[in-house]
Amino acid sequence: MQALCWHGKGDIRCDTVPDPRIEDARDIVIKVTSCAICGSDLHLMDGQIPTMESGDIMGHETMGEVIEVGSGHTKFKKGDRVVVPFTISCGECRQCKMGNFSVCERTNPNAKMAAEMYGYTTAGLFGFSHLTGGFPGGQAQYLRVPYADVGPIKVPENLTDEQVLFLSDIFPTAYQAADHCEIKPTDTIVIFGCGPVGLLTIKCCLLLGAKRVISIDDVPERMELARQAGAEVLDHSKGEIQKQILEATQGLGPDAVIEAVGMEAHGSGVMNVLKSAFTSSERPSALDEAILACRPCGILSVPGVYGAAIPVMMGAIMQKGLTVKTGQTHVQRYLEPLLKMVANGKIDPGFIITHRIGLKEGPDMYKTFRDKKDGCVKVVIHPN
Ligand SMILES: NC(=O)c1ccc[n+]([C@@H]2O[C@H](COP(=O)([O-])OP(=O)(O)OC[C@H]3O[C@@H](n4cnc5c(N)ncnc54)[C@H](O)[C@@H]3O)[C@@H](O)[C@H]2O)c1
Ligand SMILES: [Zn+2]
Ligand SMILES: [Zn+2]
């Protein structure tokens, strides 16, 4: 089959690789009808996440049709249409039972490596380095889905791929980011980043009843989509972002701040200057700005992805008494309620899609998405 594979920093190729097969009784194999490129894939492309190996198949936002079913599998049958969460979870361990699916204790075959880095293992993830298991990803014609009785959700025929694809990752991620803010009807929420995650987060904050949402970016078409989604928008390129936020909030600051940027942040945050003294290649300037922006005793929610140890403004967090909530998304926790919201027309997450391509155009489109060229906000790939 054809798949998009990582071959080093900035080097994604469309390769011919062996078809996946059932390896465990709980597996299914799907024929991928739609998959997407995520901001997290840019961190991998950019060499920011350790333990990628040449030839690794990319992709963790995937859906398709079930074509093979493991001998012990009873949830799906051939022909079912399913969306696959990027988190691989067993459903049986202590963490899964608590609903903490992205830190499943059992699905990462490289648990020891993860525990050495983070103290404990985290869950296996599709297409996301060997630190999270080295599972082949879903930017491919076919995908083997392990623990398929726990992760994937069957979707009704009357909903299009574009309406439901983002249940695999960024819609639940946006919802969790908003959920972490414990939104009250009087709340003002500031969101750093108007990428796909930031844009969906605006909708989720409003759905959860926020009074005001103020979004920040400097890419015009993304800022325009943020306005259309219901946010007031501040232009990062105008500088002095903290001043802009204070002016917009009568000096009070937001009740919660969401950092939906992650490691590819641009700008020259305090920590970017300090960073030169550290070995990390990460660039937490949006994180600095988010920490500064949050009002005392507010909540900082960080869906933005970080991998290695980085310098963090702990003084500001401690002195202001901030509550920090973060994590890879516990996708399975949100699947049913969010599918219902799509089905009854409360939200159509597809509004962010700007590009639709085949696998062969994938390598070029990775660069277009990374460089924010051609008005690119979200890319959907049809591999078959
Ligand atoms: N926690 C999770 O489970 C999870 C899931 C999906 C994505 N993510 C992460 O969410 C983040 C965003 O993903 P995305 O797909 O929207 O990525 P993206 O790269 O398309 O969007 C990031 C946006 O942030 C903007 N930006 C950069 N620096 C900024 C700054 N200093 N202030 C304000 N805006 C700034 C960029 O212009 C861009 O529009 C990434 O780190 C991604 O890895 C996390
Ligand atoms: Zn993702
Ligand atoms: Zn588990």
- CA–CA separation, 321 and 315 (whole Å): 10
Regarding the beta carbon of 282 and ligand 1, being less than 6 Å apart is answered no
> What pLDDT does 283 receive?
58
Residues 175 and 309 in one domain: yes
Q: What is the mean pLDDT of the chain?
A: 95
Res. 270: pLDDT tops 80 = no
At residue 281 the predicted structure's pLDDT band, cuts being 50, 70 and 90, is very low
Read off the pLDDT of each residue in 212-231 and give the average, rounded to a whole number.
98
- CA–CA separation, 171 and 332 (whole Å): 12
> What pLDDT does 265 receive?
78
Read off the pLDDT of each residue in 320-334 and give the average, rounded to a whole number.
98
Regarding the beta carbon of 176 and ligand 1, being less than 6 Å apart is answered no
Read off the pLDDT of each residue in 269-280 and give the average, rounded to a whole number.
44
Regarding the beta carbon of 256 and ligand 1, being less than 6 Å apart is answered no
Q: Tokens for 338?
A: 């969010």
Cα-to-centroid distance, 146 and ligand 3 (Å): 12
Res. 278: pLDDT tops 70 = no
Residues 24 and 158 in one domain: yes
At residue 324 the predicted structure's pLDDT band, cuts being 50, 70 and 90, is very high
Ligand positioned closest to the Cα atom of 104: 3
Cα-to-centroid distance, 46 and ligand 1 (Å): 14
Q: What is the maximum span of the chain, computed from C-alpha positions, in angstroms?
A: 62
Residues 336 and 316 in one domain: no
Res. 276: pLDDT tops 60 = no
Cα-to-centroid distance, 328 and ligand 3 (Å): 14
Regarding the beta carbon of 197 and ligand 1, being less than 6 Å apart is answered yes
Residues 333 and 320 in one domain: no
Probe target for ligand 1 pocket from 40, 44, 283, with the most ligand atoms within 8 Å of CB = 40
Residues 12 and 57 in one domain: yes
> What pLDDT does 308 receive?
82
Please, which residues bridge with residue 216 across strands?
192, 234
Q: Compute how many other C-beta atoms are within 10 angstroms of the C-beta atom of residue 226.
A: 26
Probe target for ligand 1 pocket from 35, 197, 366, with the most ligand atoms within 8 Å of CB = 197
- Residues above pLDDT 70, as percent of the chain: 95
Ligand 1 atom showing the smallest separation from residue 40 Cα: 43
Regarding the beta carbon of 215 and ligand 1, being less than 6 Å apart is answered no
Report the CATH number that the domain containing residue 251 is assigned in CATH: 3.40.50.720
Contact status, residue 361 vs residue 354, Cβ threshold 8 Å: no
Ligand 1 atom showing the smallest separation from residue 262 Cα: 41
Give the residue from 284, 14, 304 showing the smallest Cα distance to 141.
Answer: 14
Q: What pLDDT, in 10s, does the model give residues 252-267?
A: 999 999 999 998 777 5
Q: Determine the structural domain holding residue 12 and report its residue range.
A: 2-168+329-381
Cα-to-centroid distance, 120 and ligand 3 (Å): 13
> What pLDDT does 267 receive?
58
At residue 236 the predicted structure's pLDDT band, cuts being 50, 70 and 90, is very high
Geometric angle at alpha carbon 161, from 158 and 162, rounded to 5°: 110
Regarding the beta carbon of 138 and ligand 1, being less than 6 Å apart is answered no
Probe target for ligand 1 pocket from 104, 261, 367, with the most ligand atoms within 8 Å of CB = 261
Residues 156 and 58 in one domain: yes
Cα-to-centroid distance, 143 and ligand 2 (Å): 16
Do β-strands 299-302 and 323-326 pair in parallel, antiparallel, or remain unpaired? parallel
- CA–CA separation, 1 and 359 (whole Å): 11
Res. 69: pLDDT tops 70 = yes
Res. 275: pLDDT tops 70 = no
Residues 159 and 219 in one domain: no
Residues 74 and 180 in one domain: no
Ligand positioned closest to the Cα atom of 196: 1
Residues 200 and 161 in one domain: no
Q: What is the pTM of this model?
A: 0.96
Ligand positioned closest to the Cα atom of 202: 1
- Quick one: three-class SS letters along the chain? CEEEEECCCCCEEEEECCCCCCCCCCCEEEEEEEEEECHHHHHHHCCCCCCCCCCEECCCCEEEEEEEECCCCCCCCCCCEEEECCEECCCCCHHHHCCCHHHCCCCCCCHHHHHHHHCCCCCEEECCCHHHCCECCCCECEEEECCCCCCCEECCCCCCHHHHHHHHCHHHHHHHHHHCCCCCCCCEEEEECCCHHHHHHHHHHHHCCCCEEEEEECCHHHHHHHHHHCCEEEEHHHCCHHHHHHHHCCCCCCCEEEECCHHHCCCCCHHHHHHCCCCCCCCCHHHHHHHHHCCCCCEEEECCCCCCCCCCCHHHHHHHCCEEEECCCCHHHHHHHHHHHHHCCCCCHHHHCCEEECHHHHHHHHHHHHHCCCCCCCEEECCC
Total domains in the chain come to 2
Please, which residues bridge with residue 15 across strands?
3
Report the CATH number that the domain containing residue 64 is assigned in CATH: 3.90.180.10
* Alpha-carbon radius of gyration of the chain: 20
- CA–CA separation, 157 and 244 (whole Å): 46
Cα-to-centroid distance, 376 and ligand 1 (Å): 14
Residues 180 and 267 in one domain: yes
Res. 271: pLDDT tops 80 = no
Res. 273: pLDDT tops 70 = no
Geometric angle at alpha carbon 236, from 232 and 239, rounded to 5°: 125
Cα-to-centroid distance, 95 and ligand 3 (Å): 6
Res. 237: pLDDT tops 60 = yes
Cα-to-centroid distance, 169 and ligand 1 (Å): 13
- CA–CA separation, 114 and 269 (whole Å): 29
Cα-to-centroid distance, 22 and ligand 3 (Å): 20
